[in-house]
Chain A
Amino acid sequence: MVPKGGARVSSRSADFRQGVIDVVPIIIAAVPIGLLWGTLAAGRGLSPLEAGLMSASVFAGAAQFVAIELWRDPVPWLLLTVTAFIVNVRHILMGASLSRHMNAIPPGWRAPLVFLMADENWAFSERRAITAPLTPAYYLGLALPMYAVWTSSTTIGAVMGRSLGDPAVLGFDFAFSAMFIGLLAGFWRGPRTGAVLAASAVSAGLAKLFVPGAWYIVIGGITGAIVAAALHAESEAS
């Protein structure tokens, strides 16, 4: 006889293990990016401790790269704070979307868990929610290895202080795009999805070219959602 909690515990560890398996390619690709960020941070005068502290407390690659671009002496802390908000404003949309799939997560856990939300583990979580309830174990299986690898690789990069080379040489930079393309296939629901994706791609591409800052993700996401809403109305009318 399996004890009463046994099945639940084993499915919990299975969920965690599945999360780790899903995220392995991502953390492999993240190592050179993290090392690169660490070397850039060291070049701007951050100590390994400060670089590691930023990765551990901010945990947002795009915002950290932008911050290093803006870093100078004296440190423009207000500009850096506002810029971090703008670069990460997409998280608001991502969190709102993910909050609809958190029924299996105790309410008190939700706010602490989203501290670890990043593009990659969010995308896997959304993908998972299509076919199975999103559990804390699966989410943490995705998020904790990412957090450990990002924090340690950026700190090591700052200790080394010089770049091992450009991650683009081996295509590591493209791994994230390829992963998102692979996940996108799981969201395909027919021609309407095609219209949403086209609207998002065109508006985000244009916004990237003509709108300063990192607004293009939010603009693309909202444009796609508006197109979906418009198509919904049409299908009801017909």
Chain B
Amino acid sequence: MTLVAILGMALATYATRVGGLYLLRGVTVKGRLKSALDALPPAILMAVIAPTVLTTGAAETIAAVIAAGTAFMRVPLIVTILTGVISVVLLRMILN
């Protein structure tokens, strides 16, 4: 049963990965639809982090604001990551 479960999970997951490739087949992407699709990557990225950033605790929220401020200074990505991680560790020590 363990192998059946792993196989089922693998097939279900691959279906989600490959399904998206066919979603827009034959669709002309322009105008309003193009605006909507162009907004998908940032909207999905935001949605992925929203619970961590907004509902976990003050340390995470403040660290996210610091990381966002760093990111908008157009620094290399690794600087943003390190700033966010160091901030969250320090803030958790201070606040918890």
Instruction: Give the shortest distance, in Å, between A74 (CB) and chain B (any CB).
Output: 6
Q: Are B36's CB and A228's CB within 8 A? A: yes
- Cβ of A96 within 8 Å of any chain B Cβ, yes or no, is yes
Q: Are B53's CB and A177's CB within 8 A? A: yes
A218 to B71, alpha carbons, bound, how many Å? 25
Residue pairs across A and B with CB atoms within 8 Å: the count is: 280
Instruction: Give the shortest distance, in Å, between B83 (CB) and chain A (any CB).
Output: 7
Judged by DSSP, the binding face of B is helix
Among A93, A174, A202, A232, max chain B CB count under 10 A is at A174
Q: Are B80's CB and A178's CB within 8 A? A: yes
Question: Provided the pairs A175-B84, A201-B54 are in contact, do residues A92 and B33 lie with their beta carbons within 8 angstroms?
Answer: no
Judged by DSSP, the binding face of A is helix
Question: Provided the pairs A85-B16, A93-B44 are in contact, do residues A228 and B4 lie with their beta carbons within 8 angstroms?
Answer: no
A168 to B52, alpha carbons, bound, how many Å? 12
Instruction: Give the shortest distance, in Å, between A144 (CB) and chain B (any CB).
Output: 16
Q: Are A91's CB and B20's CB within 8 A? A: yes
Name the B residues within 8 Å of A25 (CB-CB). 77-78, 81
Q: Are B68's CB and A181's CB within 8 A? A: yes
A100 to B20, alpha carbons, bound, how many Å? 10
A221 to B36, alpha carbons, bound, how many Å? 10
Q: What count of chain B residues pass the 8 Å CB interface test? A: 69
Question: Provided the pairs A200-B46, A221-B44 are in contact, do residues A99 and B23 lie with their beta carbons within 8 angstroms?
Answer: yes
Pick out which of these stretches binds chain B: A10-18, A58-66, A134-142, A150-158: A58-66
Name the B residues within 8 Å of A177 (CB-CB). 49, 52-53, 60, 64, 67, 84
Name the B residues within 8 Å of A188 (CB-CB). 42, 72
Question: Which of A22, A92, A223 is in CB contact (< 8 Å) with B16?
Answer: A92
Instruction: Give the shortest distance, in Å, between B65 (CB) and chain A (any CB).
Output: 9
A187 to B43, alpha carbons, bound, how many Å? 10
Q: Mark A192-236, 1 if CB is under 8 A from B, else 0.
A: 010011011111110011000000111111111111110111000
Which residues of B24-71 have CB atoms within 8 Å of chain A's CB atoms? 24, 29, 31-55, 60, 63-64, 67-68, 70-71
A74 to B5, alpha carbons, bound, how many Å? 11
- Cβ of B95 within 8 Å of any chain A Cβ, yes or no, is no
A80 to B92, alpha carbons, bound, how many Å? 34
Q: Are B85's CB and A175's CB within 8 A? A: yes
Could you give 8 example pairs across A and B, Cβ below 8 Å?
A22-B77, A81-B8, A92-B16, A115-B18, A177-B52, A224-B42, A232-B34, A232-B36
